[in-house]
Amino acid sequence: MEELIILGIESSCDDTSAAVLRGRTLLSNVIASQQVHVQYGGVIPELASRAHQQNIIPVVDTAVRDAGITLGDIGAIAFTRGPGLLGSLLVGVSFTKGLSLARGIPMVEVNHLKGHILSHFIDLPDRTLPHPSFPFLCLLVSGGHTQIVEVRSWDEMEIIGTTIDDAAGEAFDKCAKVMGLPYPGGPVIDRLAQEGDPERFRFARPRVGGYDYSFSGLKTSFLYFLRDRVAAEPGLIENNKSDLCASLQKTIIDILLKKLVLAAKERGIREIAAAGGVSANSGLRSRLTEEAGRRHWNLYLPELKFTTDNAAMIAVAGYFKYLTGQFAELDVTPSARVGEL
């Protein structure tokens, strides 16, 4: 049997992306990151959905061409149904329906968060990436979510810990904004932190039960700290940017690791993966690598291009669903909140 060619469509937030896989092997992955939000310091939903509308056809067209295929070769379209911004999701869902209807191609809906986790099962044409074995724990850290997920199969996942307020990515982005850094703040803080002293400043650590997280206290403590200190020393942020970033980043990493280590210990799982935009953070990656050495974990860190939003992860998640014949109907609607994984 010929291997399935699957087109993935991702439009949940501010990246318009299309990817083509042959089986689980990546043929192309095109991402148009929207620049329109930078001037506002955050994603403006209405502008995001308009930019998706402008981008979606050229992005899909490029992905198809880069893959060296034609529309007629596509055996299935996987799309992000949610969670995300409703207006943004709507563009991807409507495009998928149109193409499906015009070409008679079956559709497969994908949960964006599952997509992030299953990005660990993508292969590249020239090499096989290491895939975690089940069950594994996945630290899912993105702009909208911070979770520890116990992954028992590609389909069976349980969120065992989650943030009760802000996500880790939000903590990065909001604290960056307070320091006057551009959006998204995560990568900027990552870069500045590399030259800073992580022990210089101390910020609040949350006390929440189980494997849950909280980041709003850190955000508030960071804000108050700056407000109080800047009043006395106006150049404080400018003069200590790297130390502030390094100290903030270390606090976020400490918070993330504490619960992950606890969960791994109590669940007796040593297959550990990370996923989502924040898993691109170099400090987090080296701390995870360090812990993995100490605790004999088999650690799986996604390739950088698969950490932030991309359609390759949606396509691979769709591939697994396709194999079990789980198709979406034409009356499918996007969902801003998809509770269950």
Task: Report, in Å, the least distance between residue 1 CB and Zn ion.
Answer: 32
Task: Report, in Å, the least distance between residue 92 CB and Zn ion.
Answer: 13
10 Å Cβ neighbour count for 304?
A: 11
Footprint (CB under 6 A) of ligand KG4, residues 187-226: 187, 190
Continuous segment of H or E residues that includes residue 336: none
Q: Is 10 in the site for ligand KG4 (CB under 6 A)?
A: no
Q: Is 186 in the site for ligand KG4 (CB under 6 A)?
A: yes
Q: Is 142 in the site for Zn ion (CB under 5 A)?
A: yes
Task: Report, in Å, the least distance between residue 329 CB and ligand KG4.
Answer: 26
Distance of CA 199 to the CA centre of its chain: 28
Query: 185 touches which of ligand KG4, Zn ion, none (CB within 5 to 8 A by kind)?
Result: ligand KG4
Backbone angles phi, psi at 11, to 5 degrees: -150, 35
Task: Report, in Å, the least distance between residue 66 CB and Zn ion.
Answer: 22
Residue 177 or 229 with smaller CB distance to ligand KG4 = 177
Q: Is 309 in the site for Zn ion (CB under 5 A)?
A: yes
Regarding beta strands 76-82 and 107-111, do their DSSP bridges make them parallel or antiparallel, or are they unpaired? parallel
Footprint (CB under 6 A) of ligand KG4, residues 253-312: 276-278, 280-281, 308-309
Question: How far apart (Å, rounded) are the C-alpha atoms in residues 279 and 268?
Answer: 23
Residues 6+ apart with CB under 8 A from 321: 78, 108, 109, 110, 155
Residues 6+ apart with CB under 8 A from 113: 83, 140, 142, 145, 147, 149, 338, 341
Q: Is 14 in the site for Zn ion (CB under 5 A)?
A: no
Residue count, binding to ligand KG4 (CB under 6 A): 19
Supply 240's token pair. 């200590």
10 Å Cβ neighbour count for 134?
A: 13
What residue spans of 1-136 are helical by DSSP H? Answer: 45-66, 86-103, 112-118
β-pair partners for 66: none
Task: Report, in Å, the least distance between residue 256 CB and Zn ion.
Answer: 16
Residue 99 or 318 with smaller CB distance to ligand KG4 = 318
Stretch that binds ligand KG4, among 73-81, 98-106, 168-176, 198-206 (CB under 6 A): 168-176
Q: Is 15 in the site for Zn ion (CB under 5 A)?
A: no
Residue 11 or 240 with smaller CB distance to Zn ion = 11
Regarding beta strands 146-151 and 15-22, do their DSSP bridges make them parallel or antiparallel, or are they unpaired? unpaired
DSSP string, 172-235: HHHHHHHTTPPSSHHHHHHHHHTTS-TTS--------STT-B--HHHHHHHHHHHHHHHHH-TT
- The helix/strand/coil state of 23 is coil
Question: How far apart (Å, rounded) are the C-alpha atoms in residues 39 and 188?
Answer: 15
Residue 100 or 251 with smaller CB distance to ligand KG4 = 251
Q: Is 13 in the site for ligand KG4 (CB under 6 A)?
A: yes
- Residues 119-148, mask of contacts with ligand KG4 (x by CB under 6 A): -----------------------xxx----
Task: Report, in Å, the least distance between residue 232 CB and ligand KG4.
Answer: 29
Residue 169 or 217 with smaller CB distance to ligand KG4 = 169
Residue 87 or 185 with smaller CB distance to ligand KG4 = 185
Report CA Rg, the chain. 20
Residue 43 or 76 with smaller CB distance to ligand KG4 = 43
Which positions lie near Zn ion, rule CB under 5 A? Answer: 142, 309
Which positions lie near ligand KG4, rule CB under 6 A? Answer: 13, 142-144, 169, 172-173, 184-187, 190, 276-278, 280-281, 308-309
